Amino acid sequence: MGILMVGFCAIFSIITKRDLYMNIGISWALLNFIGTLALAKYLEGRGFDE
């Protein structure tokens, strides 16, 4: 779902020629990446401070 949102933001940014939507897409991708890392650490059983 995150990849679709980033893709839609990129396409919408190209269509409207506004960079605001590209910034939203980049922010969304960064949040998805951090969430994936947090989930991986949780499933591994290690704490966040290790």
Cα dihedral 39, 40, 43, 46 sign: negative
pTM for this entry: 0.74
Count CA within 13 A, CB hemisphere, residue 3. 1
Helix (H, G, I), strand (E, B) or coil at 36: helix
End-to-end CA separation in angstroms for the chain: 29
Give tens-digit pLDDT for 15-40.
999 999 999 999 999 999 999 988 99
Every domain of the chain and the residues it spans: 2-44
With 0-12 / 13-18 / 19 or more C-beta atoms within 10 angstroms meaning exposed / middle / buried, residue 39 is: exposed
Query: pLDDT-based confidence at 50, cuts 50/70/90?
Result: low
